[in-house]
Amino acid sequence: MAAGQALALATVAGLLAAGVALRRVLLLGFGAAGIIFIVPQTATRYLLTSAGAPLAVFVVGLGLLGVALWLAKSRKTPRSP
């Protein structure tokens, strides 16, 4: 089961990286949806008795927020005539 979770995390990271590199919102959406499901499951499995599980989810959330703000700032808006 550990290999499945590692593959899921790698897939989610790949979707997010591809979404950022290609500036495709759809890929970012799939990656974010994957994070919503995979990160809490993995954190709960491996960090069950510590405060690490909520901290891991919090750190991932901050990372997503940072990427979203960076994309919003770097997005080119069309100029009005």
DSSP string, 18-54: HHHHHT-HHHHHHHHHHHHHHHHHHHHHHSTTSTHHH
The pLDDT of residue 80 is above 60: no
3-class DSSP assignment, residue 17: helix
Would you say residue 51 lies in a domain? yes
In the chain, the number of structural domains is 1
At residue 19, the pLDDT reads 84
Residue 57 is part of which domain span? 2-72
What number is the average pLDDT over the span 7-33?
86
How many CB atoms are located within 10 Å of the residue 58 CB?
A: 11
The pLDDT of residue 81 is above 70: no
Q: How many Å apart are CA 79 and CA 59, to the nearest integer?
A: 36
pLDDT grade, residue 39 (50/70/90)?
Answer: confident
Would you say residue 40 lies in a domain? yes
Would you say residue 78 lies in a domain? no
Would you say residue 80 lies in a domain? no
Would you say residue 81 lies in a domain? no
Would you say residue 79 lies in a domain? no
